[in-house]
Structure 1
Amino acid sequence: MHTKHNILFIINPISGGKGKLRIPDFIDKYLDKEKFNANFVFTEYIGHAAELADEAANKNFDILIAAGGDGTINEVATKVLQHQKILGILPLGSGNGLARFLQIPKNLRQAILAINRLKIDKIDTATFNNKKFFNLAGIGFDAHLSSVFSNDKKRGLAGYVKLGLKEVFGYRAQKYIIDIDGIEYQRNAFAISIANSSQYGNDVFIAPGASIKDGLLDVCIIKPFSLLKLPLLGYVMLKGTAEHSEMIEIIKGKQIKILRETDGAVHIDGEPLKMGKEIAVSVAPLSLSVVVP
């Protein structure tokens, strides 16, 4: 008789804007009961997923499944990493950047069947000042947009794009001093994204050549541009050709320090925060165990 794995599904009922209350029925239907003892909890506020994950990891849950968007995944993964457990993902967010990179199906039934096979892989994780991130973190325009967007209740891609177009007209590029593995770069930048995986989500690629298994981060510097070129920038990201674009400079590295002119917004896996002028970023190679298809 083999022992069953204790598995906890941490479900964010509001991520991606769809009602998630039927998820336990779905899991109940497709999860392999021979392999798993399943439990479910629903998050009620930002930061709750992390608390629930922490509690579960201390109890004797081996596998913690984040059912939500990039924010929920970040909270759960941070605790999984700390306690050296195993992370699973049911991608229910609007972007699902990390899940897409790992090729976890958006279809819920298929995502659960993938968990049944229990194939485990190790991926790189990264730290942005004192916060962990798994997909992307950044400063500059996208961080500014995240912070404005979080105050705007009309979530969803269309709302995001609309707000982006409104904000982009007033946004000015800033000066940054960037140190990547001991080499200093001075850059004027519209935004700087630090990519562990290749995309923001929705197949918008900022770092098409990024890998979550290479022990490196891709520092993506979006150069200042005339607004006439905004459609081109969008096109480059949707086509996945950022590495060949004049508009984006990508430098790979392990230890990154960024000095900017003022304190301000940052985003970590899409969630907006405020940080100071100095940002230190590092990578921990193959540090997180994840269930992959």
Structure 2
Amino acid sequence: MMLAVCNGQQYGGGYCAAPHASMTDGLLDVVLLRPVPRLKLPGLLGSYKKGEHLSEGDTVTEKFAPYMTFFRTGSIDIEVLDGNPLITTLDGECSPQLRMHAEIAHSAARILLPPELAANANKTPVLQAMGE
């Protein structure tokens, strides 16, 4: 029914698909939701949005266990076997896909800083209160 591949905790309108995801752990959190009976869906949707489908140990809660699978991985490949494309959404843009690949790109972003900031880049940031 739905698959969320996440490196952050929330997506689209505050849905907390991966409540314990970390952008720095090198893993994608994968939430697979199998078909849910229509009468059960309203009772599950609010809990899913709040991230209540996973316990602290990243175990699927009893309420969601018949419908959900969760795991973490460094990469995932998905391929349609029946020829009917999946409708994928990436950053709000929808498109039909027959294949999908997602992986963590370690140290993929390089940020140039002015020299005065670069000298302090590896230090812990300190917040200072503004005086009157």
Normalising by structure 2, what TM-score? 0.66
| Residue 227 of structure 1 pairs with residue 38 of structure 2 | yes
By how many angstroms is 1:275 displaced? 1.8
Q: CA deviation at 1:252?
A: 0.4
Please tell me whether residue 255 in structure 1 is matched to residue 75 in structure 2: yes
Alpha-carbon contact 2:8-2:18 (below 8 Å) kept: yes
For the residues of structure 1 that align with 2:2 and 2:37, how far apart are their CA atoms?
14
- Give the one of 265, 270, 276 matched to 2:87: 265
Distance 1:236 1:257 in 2: 28
Provide the aligned length of Structure 1 versus Structure 2.
101
| Secondary structure of 1:242 counterpart | coil
CA contact (8 A) 1:257 1:281 kept: yes
- 2-side partners of 1:263 and 1:202: how far apart? 25
- The aligned counterpart of 2:109 is 288
Q: What is the aligned partner in structure 2 of residue 11 from structure 1?
A: none
* Contact kept in structure 1, 2:85 and 2:97, CA below 8 Å: yes
Read off the aligned partner of 1:197 and give its amino acid letter.
Answer: G
Q: Moved runs in structure 1, 4+ residues, more than 4 A? A: none
Q: Tell me, which stretches of 5 or more residues in structure 1 are unaligned?
A: 1-189
Asked if structure 2 preserves the Cα contact closer than 8 Å seen for 1:213 and 1:285, the reply is no
Whole-angstrom CA distance in 1 between matches of 2:4 and 2:93 = 13
Identity, in percent, stands at: 28
- CA distance in 2 between partners of 1:220 and 1:288 (Å): 26
Structure 2: gaps (5+ residues): 55-60, 112-126, 128-132
Cross-structure match for 2:116: none
Higher strand proportion: 1
Question: For the residues of structure 1 that align with 2:39 and 2:110, how far apart are their CA atoms?
Answer: 44
Counterpart residue identity of residue 258, structure 1: I
Check if 1:279 corresponds to 2:90: no
Q: Alignment RMSD, CA only?
A: 2.1
Output the amino acid matched with 1:282.
E
Residue equivalent to 1:205: 16
Residues 259 and 286 (structure 1), Cα distance of their counterparts in 2 relative to 1, 3 Å cut: same
Could you tell me how far 1:286 is from its partner in structure 2?
4.2
Give the TM-score normalised by the residue count of structure 1: 0.32
Q: Please say if residues 221 and 249 of structure 1, whose CA atoms lie closer than 8 Å, have aligned partners that are also in contact.
A: yes
